[in-house]
Structure 1
């Protein structure tokens, strides 16, 4: 795929970007004096919902996901490389597989947890779970389902569903990234996997889990050795950051998530840092005329927008202080 093959869609993306909420829009939402005021303002944007219904059921995620699903559906129809969109939608597919597998094993119905986003439909994923075969699914995804089913049939461990799906998701993400063969996409993939591994180490140590726990949870698809992460974890997360992440371009930013007593790592700040780092990488291609970066940037911007709206609406519903909301909101694309 040549960069010039994106020329047509990049022109379209520039028009889509005009519909994105700006920094001043989010500031206005933060300053809204009530949930209704925030919804009234949001009603003037590209989002469709019934204000009274949302005020009654507080189902913010419902209309946000519906909006996001529509955006992805439109983009899949025009994207020169649908794999680029898979970088973002893959996590929804693996989430859905977790739900469907648990439904199957526990003989329960949790259809309300399914998210209609991804190249494969919910029905296709359901068929994969039921038959353990699929001509449409990527071989890594099919292998993931088969491995989970075999493990459950042998051990009966329902918790293994999440462990398997998370590690296979990251393997699948790496396979897509390698196939696209783009330096920026590789950097983003490295960030996602390496920060996932670091967060896993931090949380495992906080819960006082044994090192063996990390063998199952950590991904081998990152740029930092899984074995080195496990070996160094005995010295604590701060040691992991300074020894194994010290050579990363964002090492100085990682220092900011270490508490003042240099003893612990603040997980909320770590989660937000990952989003900010990816934002910086994606924003580097903001004004490229050719290639995949404008599409990548728009999709990331839309994902961030939905994340921020979910956070702000929940915050308004719970009367959370403006300063706290402002601190938690992720960077807006182009700002």
Structure 2
């Protein structure tokens, strides 16, 4: 992680105020001790109470039904985004982070349309685009309410679903649109660390996409149109190893920073028939990359690091909540919890 500090790092003095604010807010991120106390609590109510007992007052849950809990977490995510807008000297980070919510909403709406269920999953009003505009575009064909490129992404995703009859591959098509949007904006922003972070994210996503395609026995000839460009890792390398036995794939990445992620992720799939460990290791790899933010006082790295650290906290809380609601053992919940930023 520290190898990513170079002569262009820690010199953006316009981020001095933002980094000062972040240093104070980092004290309110979840640490491993709090996470473990939540997991080891007897039930959901006591688990959530741990947050209040550690002076994390923003996590105030008056009701314990799923809708109420989700609304609290969504509101925290919204405040996290608004904080980025408030403390950043430029608006681009807020816009950049907001796109993820737009493309989440597109996935939800398209899934609902394909399955004939309009209220399939909740939509989150945290993006750059109007929820009403997206809804009207997907269900009524009113594409004039959304940007032309978003219309193209929706059309491509629908065509992909009809072609492969796969919701997972439809989601991948939407992800391709997301990263096209992100990297278009990154060209304008021109910040090395942002490029590096999102390229790494694409690499790791392509690795697990390739794994899923192999498991689903999708033909190698289809892989080129499924994989996402923009990463550092050559998609041709993934295509070249595709027909090899899954257990041997990691041998081709022994000198890569991704070796442990691939080796352990695939091993867990072979042993447990689950990619959850792979997903966990990807999240942990990216979080570790972001920890550069803890060592910068004049750079956007600290802002990016804090934003995703907070989102990681929310993900961990959701994992614990789901585990408690489904009566999973403490050991099982701990298996899938993500690392912490602090």
Task: State the TM-score bracket (shorter-chain normalisation).
Answer: 0.7 to 0.9
CA contact (8 A) 2:319 2:337 kept: yes
Residue from 97, 106, 111 that aligns with 2:106 = 97
Within 5 Å, which residues of 2 pair with 1:1-335?
Answer: 3-44=12-53, 45-51=56-62, 53-54=63-64, 56-57=65-66, 60-101=69-110, 109-110=118-119, 112-126=121-135, 130-133=141-144, 137=147, 140-145=149-154, 147-148=156-157, 151=159, 159=167, 161-243=170-252, 245-259=253-267, 267-334=275-342
Identify if the C-alpha distance between structure 1 residues 219 and 240 changes in structure 2 by more than 3 Å, giving closer, same or farther: farther
- Provide structure 1 residue ranges, at least 5 long, that are not aligned to the other structure: none
Distance in 2 separating the partners of 1:251 and 1:153: 32
1:148, CA displacement in angstroms?
4.6
CA deviations on 1:277-302 (whole Å, 9 max, x unpaired) are 11111112312111101111111110
Distance in 1 separating the partners of 2:16 and 2:114: 47
Identify if the C-alpha distance between structure 1 residues 107 and 313 changes in structure 2 by more than 3 Å, giving closer, same or farther: closer
Distance in 1 separating the partners of 2:203 and 2:72: 32
Match of 1:284, SS state, is helix
CA contact (8 A) 1:257 1:265 kept: no
Identify if the C-alpha distance between structure 1 residues 23 and 215 changes in structure 2 by more than 3 Å, giving closer, same or farther: same
Comparing 174-183 and 18-27, the one that deviates more: 174-183
Query: TM-score, normalization: structure 2?
Result: 0.81
1:275, CA displacement in angstroms?
1.2
Match of 1:290, SS state, is coil
CA deviations on 1:57-102 (whole Å, 9 max, x unpaired) are 4754332122212221232233233333444432221121233345
- Provide structure 2 residue ranges, at least 5 long, that are not aligned to the other structure: 1-10
Distance in 2 separating the partners of 1:253 and 1:105: 33
Match of 1:235, SS state, is coil
Distance in 2 separating the partners of 1:158 and 1:254: 24
Query: TM-score, normalization: structure 1?
Result: 0.82
- Give me the CA root mean square deviation: 3.4
Distance in 1 separating the partners of 2:310 and 2:317: 10
1:261, CA displacement in angstroms?
11
Match of 2:214, SS state, is helix
Identify if the C-alpha distance between structure 1 residues 203 and 63 changes in structure 2 by more than 3 Å, giving closer, same or farther: same
CA deviations on 1:197-236 (whole Å, 9 max, x unpaired) are 1111111212222224423421122222223322320113
CA contact (8 A) 2:268 2:277 kept: no
CA deviations on 1:111-149 (whole Å, 9 max, x unpaired) are 8521122233423544665443468x5x64353235456
CA contact (8 A) 2:84 2:307 kept: no
Identify if the C-alpha distance between structure 1 residues 87 and 237 changes in structure 2 by more than 3 Å, giving closer, same or farther: farther
Comparing 151-160 and 264-273, the one that deviates more: 151-160
